Amino acid sequence: MGEARGQGPELLDLTAQEIASRVRTGEVTAAETVDLALARIAELEPRVGALLRPGQLDDAARRSAEAIDARRERGESLGPLAGVPVVVKDNLSIEGQPLTCASRILDGYVAPYDATAIARLRAADAVIVGQSNMDEFAMGSSCENSAVQQTRNPWDPERVAGGSSGGSAAAVAAGEVPLALGSDTGGSVRQPAALCGVVGFKPSYGRISRYGLVAFASSLDQIGPIARSVPEAALLYESLAGSDPRDATCSERPVEGLGESAADDGGRAAPPTLEGLRIGRLREIDSSGLEDEVAAQWQSTLRQLSACGAELVDVSVPSLPAAVAVYYVIANSEASANLARYDGVRYGRRVAGGGSLRELNRRSRSEGFGPEVKRRIMLGTFALSSGYYDAYYGRAVGVARAMSEQFESAFSQVDLVVTPTSPSVAFRLGERVEDPLAMYLSDVFTTPANLCGLPALSVPCGLGGSSGLPLALQLLGPRWADREVLRAGAAFESASGWNRRVAPGAAAREESSSAS
């Protein structure tokens, strides 16, 4: 990766910036680039299972690519993602295409409009080539809760890809596409990115419009990019961020991206640096809760941050141990309200011969929703029920507010905070299906960013000594410090070189391409 190698299968292994530059100059066409991506998807999908309905968007993708090439031939300027193939999570509305959230209850539903994020992808001249698999309604940490299929980790097909944006992360890690979109409610962009050895970024809450994103927990949801490197993630983020009158929670603040090294076509700009940054270590992180190889790499990563010029400072967020519990009360409560609309009348599948309205509603939801979604609806409904609202939901909101204040206090002492992204490497398929608590604890380090609206970035930081599987660090910043988080991540990535590692399946693919 990184060296320009001309036209051919290797084109997709260049950065998104390099691909777009070649399309803009006419060195390659968008049509050629998209055809290569579609061929690679067809080759790899039987083993990875990253996409739902492979081939569904092939014709539309080719038409989009041809339109981009026609504009270039007429001398029109092209956008920053010109001809770059992208996959998007199947909870984002694409006009005229199925929108299922990997759930049976939305079988047959066709989106009537483009989400703002999709419209901005098109405006940047990206080409959408597929819709990615996910945990049903974004509820899960392994991509095993999809009603359609399991997604496998490109590093080890017997391991999970993470969730809920596991399909997007696996597609990037396998080399099917350079860029993907996911949604992050409690870590659903960052955790699968970490398990698959790629970069995942959750922007500040309100930074990217959620118009056209199917709601899970409205106070926590945020769309975010997944990419092979931080500059590529920043490029996608900059193409999506900005105000939107159709989303009342979307901020009108000016967008600040990574800067020159994100926009530079050939990666020639000087990378950012960690020199002078004060990075906080949370006293509440208990290494005993980390898998051995995660704990070992965590200490190594801290030493590397220090060697890169950062000053490490101990800070405290006393409410951090309650983050998972608080998150699952708030998220499930909001989910139970948001999913009430799928009743067989207003939205969602309707069973035949439902009888009374009550029976129709019960049967439609029972057949349409999977076990994890039902579990979360029940938990959320209980937390919101009369007599329990103040004890559970009200109390959880209060703790989340206190956590935000504690993070603000920490950021008065440091520029950023660092944590592991996940307490474990990718676990085996089926290993935690019967243990929801163990599955929920996968989000122990990622949920605080959503509860507090903070920007957070997952960056690969090594491979497990015994498993050989990817490990990642997470950088968090104050709200609206998206640029600072991205620049610090780019500096660490440049110094460590972990973004140049590829999944074994991708490496085998590259060797095969070279041999042919």
Largest Cα separation within the chain, whole Å, is 69
The reply to whether 89 belongs to the active site is yes
Alpha-carbon dihedral angle through residues 158, 160, 166, 170, given to the nearest 10 degrees:
-40
Collapsed DSSP state (helix, strand, coil) of residue 56: coil
Active-site residue identified among 89, 183, 333, 496:
89
> In terms of DSSP bridges, do strands 199-202 and 222-227 run parallel, antiparallel, or are they unpaired?
antiparallel
DSSP of 437-505: HHHHGGGTTTHHHHHHT--EEEEEEEE-TTT--EEEEEEE-STT-HHHHHHHHHHHHHHH-GGG---HH
Active-site residue identified among 21, 164, 209, 442:
164
State the Cα–Cα distance between residues 16 and 198, nearest whole angstrom: 14
Task: State how far the alpha carbon of 124 is from the alpha carbons of 150, 235, 332, 337, 362, in Å.
Answer: 31, 10, 35, 35, 44
Tokens representing 397 are 């909101």
The reply to whether 188 belongs to the active site is yes
Phi-psi region of 431 (alpha: psi -120 to 50; beta: other; left: phi over 0): alpha
> In terms of DSSP bridges, do strands 222-227 and 179-184 run parallel, antiparallel, or are they unpaired?
antiparallel
Q: 432: which residues sit within 8 A by CB, 6+ positions away?
A: 142, 438, 439, 442
Q: What beta strand segments (E) does 301-403 contain? A: 311-315
The reply to whether 494 belongs to the active site is no
State the Cα–Cα distance between residues 338 and 329, nearest whole angstrom: 14
Residue closest to 312 by CA, chosen among 416, 443, 223: 416
Active-site residue identified among 188, 204, 229, 239:
188
Rg (the chain; Cα; Å) = 22
Collapsed DSSP state (helix, strand, coil) of residue 307: helix
Are residues 21 and 235 in contact, defined by beta-carbon separation less than 8 angstroms?
no
Q: What residues act catalytically?
A: 89, 164, 188
